[in-house]
A = this chain, B = another copy of it.
Amino acid sequence: MNHRPGAFRWVVSLGVVALSLSLEMLFWLFSRRRSERITNKVLFFPSEVACVEHIFSPTLPHSHVCSLPHGVDTSFSRLLRYILSACYSLDLCLFSFSNMDLSRAVLLLHSRGVTIRVLTDKVYSAISGSQIGVLRKAGICVRCDASAVHMHHKFAVVDGRMLITGSLNWTLTAVQSNMENIIITEEPDLVQPFVKEFCRLWGLNDPAQYLSSKK
């Protein structure tokens, strides 16, 4: 009978140790999973030229008529997938936008009900091949920066949580010819300043505000 309180204390103490170690392990696993979950990717260009039809129509057979290579995972196909992962919103702040596949991706998201806002440089929105007019005609909200300087950004924010930014203008030359880079990140310290800057520039280029300040 003398040993019972001692044994009880042992059991309690071991229980506390086990609980403490389990908590430690859970915390470690949680913090590891969290850092694994955050996307931090880099894409380099020029991208290999390959068919991207299966990204727009996943049910399309790989054998459909097209002279380009099929089933190739390229920097461009990855970029398209990151853009098409938008569920709620897509904010685009682009100096130049003439790439037709990227325009098709934006139009597809618009048809799915994703809220799209496009901010672009006024001069470059009017050049031959620009997709800005196509987006406008489809009913997508576009604002042009009309200041005397260049709106030289090339970034996108997907669902307010993923930033796509780099040196790459959304043109065919940039994707298929130039040496370029793009970062895709969900790091809040990097994403949030871009979300804030987009809102600032969007407000600054509100045509209503622009017209009222002219009166």
Complex Cα spacing A31 to B154, Å: 33
A142-179 to B contact mask, C-beta < 8 Å, 1/0: 00010001111111000000000111100001100111
A149 touches B166 (CB 8 A): no
Given contacts A27-B24, A42-B190, A189-B41, contact A181 B197 (CB under 8 A): yes
Contacts of A153 in B (CB 8 A): 167, 179-181
The answer to whether A179 and B194 have CB atoms under 8 Å apart is no
Instruction: Give A174 to B153 CA distance when docked, in angstroms.
Output: 11
Over the window 122-151 of chain A, the binary record of Cβ atoms lying under 8 Å from chain B Cβ atoms (1 yes, 0 no) is: 000000000000000000000001000111
Interface residues of A (CB under 8 A from B): 2, 5-6, 9-10, 12-14, 16-17, 20-21, 23-24, 27-28, 31, 40-42, 44, 46, 95, 145, 149-155, 165-168, 173-174, 177-181, 183, 185, 187, 189-190, 193-194, 197, 201
